[in-house]
Structure 1
Amino acid sequence: MTPEQAIASLDRHIAKHGQAVKIRKTNSAVDEVETRAFVRGMKPDEIAGAITQSDRKVVLSPTGIEIAALPKASGYLVIDNAPAAIIGKPEFVKMNDVIVRINVSVKG
């Protein structure tokens, strides 16, 4: 599978089963980027330390997201019109040095 095929597959699944979200650098609507993502709750085995049952995991595609708009550790995602703070550093999954998926944990 090539990076392009992996991204296309993720894009199809998110288009069919995902939901609208917004990426923000701060908790302000300035410079927010709209996209779609998978949003789900934490699994029991993921709950430890500061991670709680109300936190969520978000899977984003890199499609349509400029490098400057990629989610950052101090940023926010707006889910169902409510800002959620990004917990820790986003995970950028790569194939052949190409970002094919972005995994983010959020609180709020």
Structure 2
Amino acid sequence: MTPAEAIAMLDGQLAEHGEDCILRRKEGSPLVDKDVTVRALVRGLRAEDIVGTATQAWSKVVITMTQVMAGGWPSGHVLAPGAADPRIPRTNDFLTVKGKQRQIMFADPISIDGTVVRVNLTVAG
């Protein structure tokens, strides 16, 4: 499976079964919100997922980079060789789900042949 095929397949599933959420990064001084609407699949944690500090108020989320890249999120960043991709959501970014802002606790980008095809997030709140 090529990266493009994997992204197209997941985008189709998210279009059919997902929901619109707002991905937000707060940056700068004073803080400025940088937002993009993404299609996401949001599911609560299962009993076996609740370990350590995780609670039932946490959720697992799946997104692709399709809307992130199309929206130029977050604006003003340059991709430097060898540096972390600033477009990948990170800890302390936020995801608004059904009107409730939730903090991203963990982001796990999944790649095929060096292309991010999916990002698994854990959000709290």
Q: TM-score normalised to the size of structure 2?
A: 0.79
Letter matched to residue 50 of structure 1:
T
After superposition, the CA RMSD in angstroms is: 1.7
Distance in 1, Cα, partners of 2:32 & 2:49: 30
Q: Is the 8 A contact 2:20 2:38 kept in 1?
A: yes
Identity of matched residues, %: 32
CA deviation vs aligned residue, 1:54-87 (integer Å, no higher than 9, x gap): 2100000111213644311111000011100011
How many residue pairs align between the two structures? Answer: 107
Q: Which runs of 5 or more structure 1 residues have no equivalent in the other structure?
A: none
Instruction: Please give the alpha-carbon distance, in whole angstroms, between the structure 2 residues aligned to 1:64 and 1:52.
Output: 29
Q: Is 1:96 matched with 2:113?
A: yes
TM-score (norm 1): 0.91
Equivalent-residue separation in structure 1 for 2:35 and 2:10 (angstroms): 22
* Contact persistence 1:33–1:69 (CA under 8 A): no
Q: CA deviation at 1:37?
A: 0.4
Unaligned runs of 5+ in 2: 70-84
- Distance (Å, rounded) in 1 between the aligned partners of 2:5 and 2:42: 22
Aligned to 1:4: 4
Moved over 2 A (4+): 26-30, 66-70
